[in-house]
Amino acid sequence: MKNYYLAIDIGASSGRHILGWIENEKIWIEEIYRFENRLIEKNGHLCWDLEQLFQEILQGIMRCKKYNRIPKSIGIDTWGVDFVLLDERQEILGETVAYRDSRIHGVDKKVYEIISEPELYYRNGIQKLPFNTIYQLYAIKLQTPDVLRRAKTFLMIPEYLNFLLTGVMKNEYTNATTTQLVHADRKEWDLELIEKLGLPAHIFGEIHLPKTSVGHFTKEIQELAGFDTEVVLPATHDTGSAILSVPTNDEDYIYLSSGTWSLMGVERKIPDCTEESRVRNFTNEGGYHYRYRYLKNIMGLWMMQSIRKEFKHPYTFQELFTLAKIGDYFTSTVDVNDSSFLAPKSMIQALQEYCERTNQEKPETESEILACVYKSLAQSYADTVREIEAITGKQYEKIHIIGGGSQDIYLNRLTAKYTGKQVYTGPVEATALGNILVQMLKTKDLNDLMEARDTIQRSFDIKQAAGE
């Protein structure tokens, strides 16, 4: 009898329920439910609609009963850095504010009055992003201190969703590291740093590794779903899950998890918290079994997604590739990580204003706008490859592009051209697969990570991208 495993993979714009199982020594997956995840404006802030999000999770779980495919276990992964604070009644305090909200503007400078940026990086090795959890929590301390005083529990988004399913609260390692509050060497909450910032240390619970059981459905959820199952911690940070499904056990590769964000890096056994690493803005996020995901966050297909919404015609992605190629003559490029592209009212206008500020030709046509973004992303990938090789002192032959962005044929070709590397693409559903792999590793359907990656390689069509 097959063991089915359910990955609930939630990104910043959508979520999906994907069932996975092993058959004939291959992993098979089937999407059974998909839903929209969106930001809402609430009391002047950009917030996550967690109530609606949880209802969507339940709808997808009930599909398992409908299709008579009861999962042996369930794992939830989401984006990082965002969280909830719960009071003594286990109810959310304040709003569930999203990382793109403006409340964090200037907060990093306030933090650096207490601890310098180099010292902070030396402790946790996490890339400075203005919306990291550390700055969000400090913003709450400055702006709504009563919320922090009343807080009893800190949970990242997937941990809170697990709590709603099971009634059990557990913090998970890979997502915890994105807070910038976990000590890189000790792999535990940095209580000295937390206390130095005046944050309440008691709200942070024990950190658990992927494969840990959270618990079983509550009676209420069992009645709604029509069955009971175990909820397991995958790598709850979506990139942590995605990297698990890179289809190789070689070591001479760079991964690129391509989606709303582009995460580009290598796996390492020890963190690099040096000043050079900090200045180059690399991060040492936690990975499966205490591996380190040494990578750089790059503004990814968020820019393309935003532009597509602004176009009057609802172009297919294939049409966008064609339009971008028509604009190949256009040479202006932008720094895709510039803060002006984080949450602009108009991405097209932000692109044009950036080019004007930097004395470059402004993109006017749809083809020029797309070409500008595509070339800028490819250039950013090439720059990051050179930085990785400089820091590690190692040359890499291959780039493995995984995730939804691996379907972008034109960007893959540009990446091969700009980096000069062999570029391989797939699997597409990398995050859900990584989530499922952890569940399979827990039950010993797979023995170890090496076997898991070998199985991914023979289960999915991995393609090589030709340079333009």
Kindly compute the dihedral angle of the four CA atoms of residues 127, 131, 135, 141, in this order, to the nearest 10 degrees.
-170
User: For the residues 421-434, what does the mean pLDDT come to?
Assistant: 97
Report pLDDT digits (tens) over 383-396.
Answer: 999 999 999 999 99
446: in domain: no
The pLDDT of 347-366, averaged and rounded, is: 98
Distance (Å, whole) CA 59 – CA 33 = 8
Whether 162 and 301 map to the same domain: the answer is no
- Indicate whether 441 belongs to any domain: no
pLDDT tens, 74-94? 999 999 999 999 999 999 999
Question: Would the pLDDT of 251 be above 90?
Answer: no
Question: Is residue 243, in this structure, part of any structural domain at all?
Answer: no
Active site residue 87: no
**Do residues 349 and 210 share a domain?**
no
User: Residues 98, 144: one domain?
Assistant: yes
> What integer pLDDT is reported at residue 407 of this predicted model?
93
Instruction: Quickly state the pLDDT bin for 466 (edges 50, 70, 90).
Output: confident
* pLDDT on residue 318: 86
For residue 468, name the pLDDT band (cuts at 50, 70, 90).
low
* Residues 212 and 320 grouped into a single domain: no
Domain co-membership, 200 together with 105: yes
Same domain, 68 and 200: yes
Residue 467 included in any domain: no
Any domain includes 328:
yes
Of 172, 253, 231, the residue nearest 453 (C-alpha): 253
41: CATH: 3.30.420.40
Give me the pLDDT at residue 467, please. Answer: 66
Weakest mean pLDDT among 229-233, 298-302, 431-435? 298-302
Mean pLDDT, residues 287-316 taken together = 93
The stretch 415-426 carries a mean pLDDT of: 97
Where is the domain boundary, 208, 238, 268?
238
Is residue 377 domain-shared with residue 321, that is, in the same domain? yes
Whether residue 439 is contained in a domain is answered as: no
Average pLDDT across the chain, whole number: 96
Q: Is the pLDDT of residue 335 over 90?
A: yes
pLDDT tens by residue, 9-43? 999 889 999 999 999 999 999 999 999 998 999 99
From the list 238, 272, 408, 445, the catalytic residue is 238
* pLDDT of 340 over the 70 cut: yes
Name the pLDDT band for 292 (thresholds 50, 70, 90). Answer: very high
Query: What band does 1 get if pLDDT is binned at 50, 70 and 90?
Result: confident
Residues spanned by the domain of 364: 248-425
Closest CA to 336 of 296, 377, 385, 386: 377
Token pair 């083809």 in the structure block, residue: 367
* Pair 205, 335 in one domain: no
Of 238, 260, 278, the position where a domain reaches its end is 238
Q: How many domains does the chain have?
A: 2
Same domain, 223 and 269: no
Mean pLDDT of all residues in 203-211: 98
Give the confidence band of 248 by pLDDT, cuts at 50, 70, 90: very high
Percent of residues, the chain, with pLDDT higher than 70? 100
- Same structural domain, 283 and 200: no
Q: Which of 238, 257, 292 is the last residue of a domain?
A: 238
C-alpha distances in Å from residue 227, one per residue of 34, 67, 68, 76, 222: 21, 12, 10, 18, 5
Q: Identify whether 452 is part of a domain.
A: no
Q: Are 297 and 80 in contact (CB under 8 A)?
A: no
At residue 131 the predicted structure's pLDDT band, cuts being 50, 70 and 90, is: very high
Same domain, 234 and 87: yes
Residue 453 lies in a domain: no
Q: What share of the chain in percent tops pLDDT 90?
A: 93
Average pLDDT of 442-446?
98
User: Are 232 and 344 in the same domain?
Assistant: no
